[in-house]
Amino acid sequence: MTIWEAILLGIIEGVTEFLPISSTGHLTITEKLLGYSIDHADITAFTAIIQVGAVLATLLFFRRDIWRIGLAWLRGVGNKQQRADPDYRFGWAIILGSLPIGFIGLLFQHHIETTLRSLWVVAIALIVWSGVMWIADKYATQKRHEDGVTWKDTLFIGVVQCLALIPGVSRSGATMSAGLFRGFDRVTVTKLSFFLSIPALLAAGAMQTVSNIDTISTGVGWLPTIVATLVSFAVAYVAVAWLLKFIAKHNYAVFIVYRLVLGSIIMVLLLTNTISAT
């Protein structure tokens, strides 16, 4: 992989990771258009590893919130009297909500890295999940807020987040939709999506790094992988700030339309044999 290709993919990852339009889907499409075999082990690993850059941007952006919640959780673990703190309960909620995707990801790792790495899957998922997002957005009550989050809410959101293992669904699209179905406002579900992304994406990136050190070295290359990760970090930091401001005043309509258009274009290209699925 050239450095310019790495920079392009890093930008795409940074922009799309936290938007409900599927970063993995966009990376998969771009990697295919660049001529790569999207089901090869080094490309699959590269796609997961560079997401770590976006996660680090989230850690930096929400560092004060994460520090506050982490301290409250530690105090509550060691002292029963501290367990009435909402941040303690929120910490447990994030931990429990992060477990389902880890379990499902390990259980179906082979299929995720092979069978699901198809542009047909990406196109169909983009279109189908747009319908789910539309329903969630249209009928959302938004009566609940961040101070009302419970472990039952994040566990439900965490289970739905597992669907994001299908390229094209979108991890943020899945978690935001699930949060809206639970009655939370858009800003709260967006922040929950950020927090739930941290354990999931860090674990996926670490696992791919450890298990594919040699594969990356002889395939994509570590220099392009590192460059793409750094670029995704810088771009994602800006994207997080923008998304929070945008969601506070807008619904998901623009994202839904974009998903439908992109999914339809990919299907036309596949049906006309302009590009192959893998």
In a domain, 179, yes or no: yes
Beta bridge partners, 184, equal 144
In a domain, 10, yes or no: yes
Mean pLDDT across the chain: 87
pLDDT in tens, 75-113: 888 888 878 888 888 888 888 888 888 788 777 766 666
In a domain, 263, yes or no: yes
pLDDT in tens, 193-216: 888 888 888 888 888 887 778 888
Q: What global pTM score does this model have?
A: 0.85
In a domain, 52, yes or no: yes
Which pLDDT score is estimated for 111?
Answer: 64
106 vs 28: which has the higher pLDDT: 28
In a domain, 200, yes or no: yes
In a domain, 276, yes or no: no
In a domain, 119, yes or no: yes
pLDDT in tens, 44-65: 888 888 999 999 999 999 999 8
Domain that holds residue 65: 3-271
Find the range with the poorest average confidence among 18-22, 111-115, 163-167: 111-115
In a domain, 51, yes or no: yes
Number of domains in the chain: 1
